[in-house]
A and B are shown apart, each in its own frame.
Chain A
Amino acid sequence: MADIFQLLIAGLATGAIYALVAIGFTLLWQTSQTINFAQGEFVMLPAFLILAAMNIAELPFWLAILAGLAAALLILGAMFKKLLVDPMLRHGVLPLVIATIAFGLFLKESVKEFYSAEAQPFPSLVPAGNLSIAGAVISLQDVAILIVAVVAVGALQLFLSHTRTGRAMQATAQNPTVARILGIAVERMILYTFLINAALVTLASLLITPVYLAKFSNGETLGLAAFIAAIVGGFNQVRGAIAGGLLLGLVDNFAAAYLSAQYRGAIPLFVLIAVILFRPQGLLGRAEERTV
């Protein structure tokens, strides 16, 4: 029983990270039809930006986090949109997909060459420590991850539904043409989504890197998890990304513990294929119509 509780908490914590990454991914797809194949590398990069700020610019941790966030907003938000997405979108979805693949590769290799090919320790915001609940040992880190993720998602939902800008962004996501007619600065709204994505991935990076250690290859698994979470949950709903992420974290942990360890990576894939075949709009998504 204690084991199941342990796995539950661990699964939810990992799932919360997946959810954060999946939300950003979903937002980008909703507002600008961008399928960002580099989303995993987007989560990998902020950790290294922060490490560079600490080790090269010798900033204290909290200041390095701010510096890293600023750099992430610039590179993964504004520059990504202006230099990569905008020029590509004219040509269609396929070139953009390829471009994001290339961008992910670029980020990964740059970190490997310019920082290090080896894993690096990353300081944790939360001190190491354990709580004992119902016979299971729960780490403070997992609890912190859950709390931070919940707060972040809650704040995002509030922003999206209760502020003018947030509602304008939602309108842009649902129907950009009409939004433009209504006088919404669509371009700016799209830029905001990119910035929000950059902030979300930085947060995810801060939470997950102390556990995974900072390594240039971290993006691979996280990226795949983000896609699966987004699709399984519902590609066109933020709620879907959250549900998908949590579900994926739980499935992954329980499958690893109780089913074959060797095929643990396959279980999420089976879920993905099943969802795509039988409920393509995702568990919580709306069915998409095709525009003619």
Chain B
Amino acid sequence: MIVAGCDVGSLTAKAVLMNDGTIIGSGITCTGPVPEASANAAMQLALDQAGVTLDAIAHCVGTGYGRRKITFGDTVESEIACHARGAVWQVASVRSVIDIGGQDAKAIRLDERGNVVQYQYNDKCAAGTGRFLEVIADALGIELDALGPLAEQATEHLTLSNQCVVFAETEILSLVNEGKETADIVRAMHQAVARRVVAMARSIGVAGDVAMTGGVAKNSGMFEALREALGMPLVQVPQPQLNGAIGAALVAADAAGRGARESVAAHA
């Protein structure tokens, strides 16, 4: 039975197709001004990869910021629940998830079945979200993808004194004027975001194996800074950016299974 999950975030839309617990197709697109179209495009990529059509999907769950805009979704589920489900499916030992998104950040504690025990969420302040990285990368004239490799080249230890994105941007420009190396500045920026996220994660008492999910987890500099700030092992999941969509597909599988049982019962 084929099920689907679609995660429409502020920056990217992700789709995952699963058949009996195996991923058979996935797609990631940048979110355009029309979330419906971004969701469609991501799902089409996943369908093409799996070589199936939309009709083959028994149940589709939407999640993320734009979940209500998905035209082909059957039901919706919160991002928190989907990230918890996805993470424990990807790495069974995971008991906490830190998800840094483009416009928010979440810390989730979960049980061995991927049920949410406690969570904390920041969408009020841009510090400690992916936007911090975007703003600074833009100010430094660096592509987002280049941040990780650059941070690895850092040699001098710098500390940003500002947490606020707006103030940090000014601070960073003055560091540039002082002739500080871009690599050192980039590492300091990752550490500033990490400090902020870890403060939030500590408030719910992250424990056990911690996984970092979301597209930002692909940035090795951010992963390293978060690992350092946490002071505990950080698990790399195979598909950090697809994690929410995977979780949504797992929720879809539950729903489809229930639906199948119910219809069997109705016919019996």
A binds B: no
